Amino acid sequence: MSKLKLIIHREFIAKVRNKSFIMMTFLSPLLMVGMGALVFFLMKKNDEKVKEIVYVDNSGLFSKEDFKDTKTIHYQDYTALGIEETKKKVEDGNYYGVLYIPKKDSLELLANSIEFYSKDSPGMSVMGSLENKIEVKLRNEKLNNFGIDLEKIKASKIQSEIKMFNFSGEESSKLINGLKIGVGAIAGYLLMMFVMIYGTSVMRSVIEEKTSRIIEVIVSSVKPFQLMLGKIIGNASAGLLQFFIWGVLLFVIITVASSVFGVDVVEMQTAKVPDAQMDVVNQAVGGDKMQIIIQEILRLPILKMFVLFIFYFLGGYMLYSSLFAAVGAAVDNETDTQQFMLPIMLPLILGVYVGFATVINDPHGSIAVLFSYIPFTSSIVMLMRVPFGVSWYELAISMLLLLVTFVFMVWLAAKIYRVGILMYGKKTTYKDLYKWLKYKG
Amino acid sequence: MKNLLEINNVVKNYGDFTALNDVSIHIPKGSVYGLLGPNGAGKTSLIRIINQITMPDSGTIFLDGEVLSPKHTAVIGYLPEERGLYKSMKVGEQALYLAQLKGLSKSEAKKRLKYWFEKFDISAWWGKKIEELSKGMAQKVQFIVTVMHNPKLLIFDEPFSGFDPINAQLIAREILQLRDEGATIIFSTHRMESVEEMCDEIALIDKSNKILDGKLDDIKRQFRTNIFQVGLNAEHPKEVEAKLRESFEVLPADFKLLTDGLTMNVKLTEGNSANDLLSFLTSKGELQHFVELVPSANDIFIQAINKNK
């Protein structure tokens, strides 16, 4: 076995045998699913309590028809009692609040003088639905006043949807855009997480060798560069294994959970989406639309995406983890790493934020394009852009820049690493790092 | 080829600091070579260059007649002053890993390790983690790891630190046996009594320069004081002493006799020899004690360093 292989093997074994690694690997998916189920359960519980709302309608415009009970809100008409009495009664009783509709001369005036009284500030969704009811009612009143037949308005309602084609005549849907955003965002986010977790793991492993002083024995047998590379690859392999196990476990747990407990996975994921939007989705998904989406998914450049994902994933990880290795070599213990960590973390986090902020709005906007060129953010931002189709020359520039920077940074990090691993005692400064770069051999 | 290692005109700078200034050292095959010097003299820099952990700025190094190159790491064994092993790794696995890094096959490494573990009577530690062992136990493991690939050149930096006297003796015996089996040994230490015991040749490095090297015996001759301890039973000690002063330099004695005879240190002066002194003494009484004061490695070390100030 070559020395590099031996080092990779050792790093991999040392990592996966670690107790915390094993715990993380097998408990995280359980925790994730458990937390999801808990949130879902709590959300349901939260909504289950019926809210009692009473209303005092002095305008005489509203009727029982306008305030129909729903699953979560019950309405009671207290108009007869008068607003002051009602308020007193409601304050003592177990009510959510009082809606007061005064008598006004015009509808416009009325629209802005309706009041709501409650003990605690009312929830956004409750107020929204009340406002909606009032707006619909007042608009209908107004239309009536104009002498327009409501039935005709209803009959005149028409829905249009523009069918989207590309020039080769393939149909596409709006929903697929959401899917592209999702795929890109997941890929970018995954990369950031991976770099953070396994980059710091590389760093810790370097520090461990330094503090245990075995480093001098190792580098008398292998080149420091080989050792650094072996560490980076070994940790990445352990990481990929962990991600793979997570994927498999998540799939298994969700499948088992949904079949055993009858939890509807789709319901769980869409629980937060308001009904109105769900309708749109259902409508869009309904019937032949589903077929278009499937066709479109199949038409996504899956192979290209996969290859680029691998490229940017490895490129980004190698770029950052070599920096983490250099940081590990520069310090004696983990508490000293902070001053060097910030400049590494910053572009990483910036990449994710810029990606989320710009790519979703316009995947081909100038900022999105710029950040998909800058090597320190390109692996994240470009991964987010790829599903939307990126021209080959943009890809070429971005990949070339990443490759050149990656080679340069690994070389730079190796120089710092080589000197740093044998330095003890004095706390390292940026000036020292610069000095080390100039050391020969 | 007489020398296993030839270091010629090696210079090493760290920024503005010169760690080694034109250092040349030749280490004969099959010898124990003492690399001595005060803290910060440049010993570790030199050792790291021999181990190819760092490269010299200029100068040449030959190992067994070949220019030192990465393939030679397999024939060098290095025990650094700051010992260390992976704490959470098992003894056996760790030793196997380090052996394989030195180029041994897994099966060969296993065989050799078995031999050494039995020799040191530590086979029971195979499955233990280093963090479960005491410091002395870990040192033994590290010694085995250093020598198990039968290197031609062994470099020991303070090999006895951390060992109790019994284990230190065991290690010293092993080192000498390795030399007898053909290995060449570089031995870096501050403990001068072990230099006397072990070293055939030495080099003294101070302030980045080599200030002294050669066979230990030759160096001792070089640092000869020509002072003899003399113990004599004479009838008229005062007269003998006065007579002695005419042709020799007489110094106060730094030893004790079992009998209460005359004791003194006598330094030979220009034009007379030990034989002259001896024949004079035997003619004056019964000679009890006659020993040349040979400078110790410790004396030489201190003298040479002071002279270099």
Residue of chain B whose alpha carbon sits nearest to that of A440: B57
A268/B210: higher pLDDT: B210
Classify residue A43: in a domain, yes or no: no
Q: Which residues of chain A have pLDDT under 70?
A: 1, 47-48, 168-174, 260-293, 295-296, 298-299, 440-441
Is there a single domain that holds both residue A218 and residue A83? no
| B84 to chain A, closest Cα gap in Å | 4
Model pTM?
0.76
B132/A424: higher pLDDT: B132
- 3-state SS string over chain B? CCEEEEEEEEEEEECCEEEEEEEEEEEECCCEEEEECCCCCCHHHHHHHHCCCCCCCEEEEEECCEECCHHHHHHEEEECCCCCCCCCCEHHHHHHHHHHHCCCCHHHHHHHHHHHHHHCCCHHHCCCEHHHCCHHHHHHHHHHHHHCCCCCEEEEECCCCCCCHHHHHHHHHHHHHHHHCCCEEEEECCCHHHHHHHCCEEEEEECCEEEEEEEHHHHHHHCCCCEEEEEEEECCHHHHHHHHHHHCEEECCCCCCCCCCEEEEEECCCCCCHHHHHHHHHHHEEEEEEEECCCCHHHHHHHHHHHCC
User: How high is the pLDDT of residue A440?
Assistant: 67
* Domain final residue pick, A118, A150, A182: A150
Same fold, B3-221 and B225-293: no
Residue of chain A whose alpha carbon sits nearest to that of B55: A441
User: How high is the pLDDT of residue A274?
Assistant: 46
| A4 to chain B, closest Cα gap in Å | 9
Domain limits at A89? 48-150
Within 8 A of A217 by CB-CB distance, chain B residues are 78, 80, 84-85, 98, 142, 145
pLDDT, tens only, B70-126: 999 999 999 998 888 998 899 999 999 999 999 999 999 999 999 999 999 999 999
Residue B183 pLDDT > 90: yes
Total domains in chain A come to 2
Within 8 A of A11 by CB-CB distance, chain B residues are none
| CATH for A124 | 3.40.190.10
Is there a single domain that holds both residue A377 and residue A424? yes
Of B55, B80, B89, the CB nearest to A217: B80
Within 8 A of B76 by CB-CB distance, chain A residues are 220
Classify residue A243: in a domain, yes or no: yes
Kindly state whether A216 is in contact with chain B, defined as any CB-CB distance less than 8 angstroms: yes
Is there a single domain that holds both residue A126 and residue A196? no
User: How high is the pLDDT of residue A441?
Assistant: 61
Is there a single domain that holds both residue A400 and residue A296? yes
Residue B166 pLDDT > 50: yes
CATH placement of domain B3-221: 3.40.50.300
| A192 to chain B, closest Cα gap in Å | 29
User: How high is the pLDDT of residue A256?
Assistant: 80
Classify residue A11: in a domain, yes or no: no
A212 with B78: Cβ contact below 8 A? no
User: How high is the pLDDT of residue A36?
Assistant: 82
Is there a single domain that holds both residue A216 and residue A79? no
Residue B293 pLDDT > 50: yes
Classify residue A433: in a domain, yes or no: yes
Interfacial B residues in 41-60 facing A (CB < 8 Å): 48, 51-57
Is there a single domain that holds both residue A379 and residue A417? yes
Is there a single domain that holds both residue A353 and residue A401? yes
Residue of chain A whose alpha carbon sits nearest to that of B103: A3
Domain ranges of chain B: 3-221, 225-293
| A216 to chain B, closest Cα gap in Å | 7
CATH placement of domain B225-293: 3.30.70
User: How high is the pLDDT of residue A265?
Assistant: 46
Classify residue A159: in a domain, yes or no: no
Give the mean model confidence (pLDDT) for residues B144-164: 92
Is there a single domain that holds both residue A69 and residue A128? yes
Is there a single domain that holds both residue A145 and residue A185? no
